[in-house]
Amino acid sequence: MESRSLSAVLFDVDGTLMDTNYLHSVAWWEAFRQMGHTVATASIHRAIGMGADHLLEHLLGKDRDRDEDAAISTAHQVLYAQYFSRLTPLEGAADLLRECASRGWKVVLASSAQSKELGAMREALGADDAITAVTCADDVKASKPAPDLVETALKRAAVPADRAVFVGDTVWDVQACRHAGVPCLGVLSGGISGAELLGAGATAVYQGPSDLLSHIDDSLLASPGQ
């Protein structure tokens, strides 16, 4: 019983539990356009999963006019907020969280979203009864692929890295987990290929939360005591 209370499964949210990655891509595209930047939507999509702090540098470069950063980020937040009432969980997402909780895992959300965005996603997901703790971009100095979010999630769950598993959909999730010493299960529901996730170091890859749920007995999530 002691091992069960000292184990946690950490979940990314955008693209892992919620079907939001492409909504973010469009919102960022329009935010960039409003500030006079032309950035290909495909490039933006591949950067989703980073927090805004890393995403802007990744897409606009270190030599960009940093005075624009706040305006671009604010524009993205305003544009994305228009989708709040229509956010949709991925198939099986809430069921996966509840199944993990029923097996004895502490379920923790570790999202690069800001608190208002995460609140809207939690409301749409409707699985707070299964969630032990949450952390988001507002809680850390650097978001994914830095390990800060993963490490903060571990602290809030009060578990060591070797008693945790992470579930995410981007290479940035996998990289953050690698830095934090936590194994990562990848899902394809965010639009990143299995080869890329495995190449970044994911332990295994599933189509999405529903697929992971159906194969949970053969996965790292089978039992927190293992």
In the predicted structure, residue 5 carries a pLDDT above the cut 70: no
User: Is residue 64 within 8 Å of residue 88, measured between CB atoms?
Assistant: no
Q: Thinking of the domain 2-20+88-218, which architecture would CATH place it in?
A: 3-Layer(aba) Sandwich (3.40)
Average confidence (pLDDT) over 51-78: 94
> Of all residues in the chain, what percent carry a pLDDT higher than 90?
89
In the predicted structure, residue 6 carries a pLDDT above the cut 90: no
Give me the chain's average pLDDT, please: 95
User: Is residue 185 within 8 Å of residue 203, measured between CB atoms?
Assistant: yes
Q: What confidence tens digit (pLDDT) does each residue in 126-157 have? A: 999 999 999 998 999 888 899 999 999 999 99
Q: Which of 2, 177, 16 is nearest to 96 (CA)?
A: 16
Sole residue written with tokens 């006079």: 36
Task: State both tokens at 70.
Answer: 């706040």
Who has greater pLDDT, 141 or 81?
81
- pTM, rounded to two decimals: 0.94
Q: In terms of DSSP H, where are the helices of the chain?
A: 2-5, 21-34, 41-47, 52-60, 69-81, 93-102, 115-125, 148-157, 171-180, 194-200, 209-214
Q: What confidence tens digit (pLDDT) does each residue in 19-48 have? A: 999 999 999 999 999 999 999 999 999 999
3-state DSSP assignment of residue 102: helix
Q: What confidence tens digit (pLDDT) does each residue in 107-123 have? A: 999 999 989 999 999 99
Q: Give the contacts of 178 (CB within 8 A, at least 6 positions apart).
A: 184, 200, 201
In the predicted structure, residue 59 carries a pLDDT above the cut 50: yes
Confidence (pLDDT) at 142: 87
Instruction: For residues 142 and 112, give the distance between their C-alpha atoms in angstroms, rounded to a whole number.
Output: 9
3-state DSSP assignment of residue 9: strand
In the predicted structure, residue 2 carries a pLDDT above the cut 60: no
Confidence (pLDDT) at 4: 44
The secondary element (H helix, E strand) that includes residue 8 is strand 8-11
Confidence (pLDDT) at 226: 52
Q: What confidence tens digit (pLDDT) does each residue in 174-207 have? A: 999 999 999 999 999 999 999 999 999 999 999 9
Residue 18 β-bridge partners: 14, 89
In the predicted structure, residue 94 carries a pLDDT above the cut 60: yes
To 5 degrees, how large is the angle CA 49–CA 53–CA 55? 45
Domain 21-82 has CATH 1.20.120: no
The secondary element (H helix, E strand) that includes residue 184 is strand 184-187
Task: State both tokens at 218.
Answer: 């053969």
Residue 11 β-bridge partners: 109, 167
Domains 2-20+88-218 and 21-82 are alike in CATH topology? no
User: Is residue 136 within 8 Å of residue 118, measured between CB atoms?
Assistant: yes
- The domain spans of the chain are 2-20+88-218, 21-82
Average confidence (pLDDT) over 93-97: 98
Torsion of CA 11, 84, 52, 146, to 10 degrees: -10
